[in-house]
Amino acid sequence: MNGISKWKVLAIVSGIVFVGDQVTKYLAVEHLTRAFEVAGAQTFGEKVKAFVEQKELLERGLARSAPVQVVPAFWQHRYTQNRGAAWGVLAGAGEKFRVPFFYLVSIAAVIFIFSYYRKLSTEQRYVQIALALVLGGALGNALDRLLRGYVIDFIDWHWGDPNWLRPSLHWPTFNVADSGITVGLAMLFLEMLFARKPGAQAAAKKA
């Protein structure tokens, strides 16, 4: 991405995460639930309308019972609704507290990202990409909460089989937006951990 302005990097990377998140959630609703069938949606436009408007699919019994196996005994897709943050944090909190809280957190996160991002130099491409990943993921999940009051999760990783002697390990179900946020935050953590300050770099060169 050399030669591309930092704002184009933000738009491209966050846009890819945001669009990828919404497209995969649409596919999750299409293949892991009966929402489109119940809504009588047949054309693409009708399905998009149903995707935006259909809510509470689990409560209405519209989720398919059998998950789609991607890698047996490790990776499957199943439709879930997360009313909390990552890993279901605050999912059990009252709606009057939970909904405004997540709206405020989303707004604060976007404001922080933009205020920090505008201070970055053109050369700080690594940090630009990291913040763009977080922004795209935050916007993807924020749109879910705005439309439905919960986030659609469907990527399900687990290790082991209950019938085996070893215990089965299960990672909380997540989505593409969660992946963008996690990777972006991990990149920022590594940047803080290993990045050398300009003064330290200058001293190293003199040595």
pLDDT of residue 166: 55
DSSP state of 80: E
The larger pLDDT score, comparing residue 95 to residue 81, is at: 81
Q: What values do phi and psi take at 170, rounded to 5?
A: -135, 125
For all residues of the chain together, what is the average pLDDT?
85
pLDDT of residue 204: 44
The residues assigned a catalytic role are: 153, 178
The winner for highest mean pLDDT among 113-127, 159-173, 189-203 is 113-127
The answer to which of 20-24, 41-45, 77-81, 198-202 has the lowest mean pLDDT is: 198-202
User: Which residue type, as a one-letter code, is found at position 10?
Assistant: L
Mean per-residue pLDDT for 60-89? 83
At which residue do the structure tokens 């507290």 appear?
Answer: 97
pLDDT of residue 161: 61
Structure tokens at 162: 């209950």
Res. 199: pLDDT tops 60: no
The larger pLDDT score, comparing residue 9 to residue 4, is at: 9
pLDDT of residue 89: 57
Mean per-residue pLDDT for 151-162? 83
The 3-state DSSP class for residue 95 equals helix
The answer to whether the CB of 169 falls within 8 A of the CB of 159 is: yes
pLDDT of residue 65: 78
pLDDT of residue 134: 96
The band of 66, judged by pLDDT with boundaries at 50, 70 and 90, is: confident
